[in-house]
Amino acid sequence: MDNDQSPTVVSPLALGGAITGIFVLIFSAIYLFFRSPSSSRTDEVKNESETSKTESTTKKSSSSKVVKQDTKVVSKFVHPWLCVSLRAHTGSVTGLDFSHNDKYLASAAEGNYEICLMDLFTDFFFNEDDSVLLWQTKDFNEKDHKHTRVNIEFGQANHVAFSPDGKAFLVNLVKENTIRVYKFEKRADGLPTNVKSVLDFPKKNESDVISIGIACTGKFIMSAEVNNKIVIFDIKGEVLGIVETHQGHLNYAAVSPCGRFFGSCGFMSDVRFYEVCFEKSNGNFKEIRRAFDLKGHNAQVTCFSLNKDSTRAATISKDNTWKLWNADVDYIHKQDPKCLYTGTLTYHIQELALIVLSPDALSAVVSIDDRMMFYNLSREGKPCEQDIANVYSETIRTLVMDNTGRYVASAAGRQIRVFHNIAGLEGLIDDLTETARTAKQLALKERIEEQINDARTKINKILNATA
């Protein structure tokens, strides 16, 4: 008898089944690792307020003060100065901007990748959810918050800026490292609709873009990259000029609210401003020239802000101070800005500090990591009227104020929170009270008293609504 054993024969069907099972397990593991909540792709959708509902697009939660977000259970944020919390992005919010007419707030977010298994056995792909959301500010005090979702085709937007007429907006495309222009129409209720891409600017920035902006005059657009280069375009995308700031690297850059200047800050301890000049006779571009610097910090400046007419500026630095400046200078005749006040920060900056100055320069808001501080600049000592800790569970990445100084919006992670700027109203009351004290005409005093009473009424209305 032959004692040799014949080799085991594995049928092709069994082998195929085993291989298929292995692939199913691998794809399922990847899917569970990368999956994230997907958002609606419809044009007009509603975002449920955090004060009543979960920010989920598919399910409702209980009315408890605890909300489940992703896999973490966190306490719902509440504060008397909070106007509204908004959440509809599936990625981290990286850019915010109020329109010049204050009717809209735009938010841009990083792409959020999720695996979509079209055919479990044969195919899968990554779906990138990149969008800009346009919110109506008139809905901030309402229960529901409508917004228009704009999907960024073949790109990812991390910065957004409205045009002066409020009919278009710009985004920075991360992958292409360039600017794209979108125009939109308005429905009868004011909600943006029919949003269309109309222009892509030529690629001129080589490293990551940290900021974009457009002058309120509509005469130029700024694109600033981390490696010191700032490109100035006209509204058609033609390059007007390029500036190398030589500041080590850039932390922040912005166009001044008056539309004359743009500035930058970075690794160096100063802030540098440039004027974009045009011919008075025909309005043609003339030159970009160095205007003035803000010097006085002892470490790198992380952010700066100017008031509406660019006569005041505020800066914040890793030397743990913030400063208020008189920028109303004749720089052509070598006048330098003067520091009006230096405030010492109570908290050490761990990751990021931002600052925004109100249009009337009567208040300022500072964010340090996950907290926000509201300052009244009318009172002696520039007191912090409200220090709000743990606004988010992550570091605040963007901080903006509307063009009236009424709202302050910030974002961290997927959350956007809009606050009432009560410090601005208190600063206005203090400023008007001082004006009334020196006013000689009775009619003027009466008008000032009306304005003071109006500001007090607004404060009481806000606080009573949240009581």
145, 175, 200 — which closes off a domain? 200
Residue 327's pLDDT is what? 97
Q: Is 83 inside a domain boundary?
A: no
Q: Is 54 inside a domain boundary?
A: no
179, 200, 221 — which closes off a domain? 200
Residue 153's pLDDT is what? 76
Q: What is the mean pLDDT of residues 5-24?
A: 55
Joined tokens for residue 291: 């205007």
pLDDT tens, residue by residue, 103-159: 999 999 876 443 333 333 333 333 344 789 999 999 998 888 889 999 887 668 889
CA distances from residue 305 to 98, 342, 364 in whole angstroms, order as listed: 15, 15, 9
Q: What is the mean pLDDT of residues 318-324?
A: 97
Q: Is 301 inside a domain boundary?
A: no
Q: Is 239 inside a domain boundary?
A: no
Joined tokens for residue 421: 């700027």
Domain count along the chain: 2
Rounded distance, CA 128 to CA 123, Å? Answer: 17
Residue with the bigger pLDDT between 215 and 91: it is: 215
CA distances from residue 155 to 25, 65, 178, 208, 332 in whole angstroms, order as listed: 31, 37, 10, 14, 42
pLDDT category at 25 given cuts 50, 70, 90 is: low
Domain that holds residue 461: 432-465
168, 200, 232 — which closes off a domain? 200
pLDDT higher than 80, residue 33: no
pLDDT higher than 90, residue 34: no
Q: What is the mean pLDDT of residues 335-347?
A: 96
CB atoms within 10 A of CB 345: 18
Q: Is 158 inside a domain boundary?
A: yes
User: Which range, of 94-98, 172-176, 294-298, 356-360, averages the lowest pLDDT?
Assistant: 172-176
Q: What is the mean pLDDT of residues 252-279?
A: 97
Residue 463's pLDDT is what? 94
Q: Are 37 and 57 in contact (CB under 8 A)?
A: yes
Write the DSSP assignment of 71-118 as a string of letters: TEEEEPP--TTEEEEE---SS-EEEEEE-TTSSEEEEEE---EEEEEE
Q: What is the mean pLDDT of residues 275-282?
A: 96
Q: Is 283 inside a domain boundary?
A: no
Q: Is 210 inside a domain boundary?
A: no
Side-chain-facing half-sphere of 239: CA atoms under 13 Å: 11
pLDDT category at 11 given cuts 50, 70, 90 is: low
pLDDT tens, residue by residue, 159-173: 999 999 999 999 999
Which amino acid, residue 429? Answer: I
pLDDT tens, residue by residue, 403-436: 999 999 999 999 999 999 999 999 999 999 999 9
Q: Is 287 inside a domain boundary?
A: no
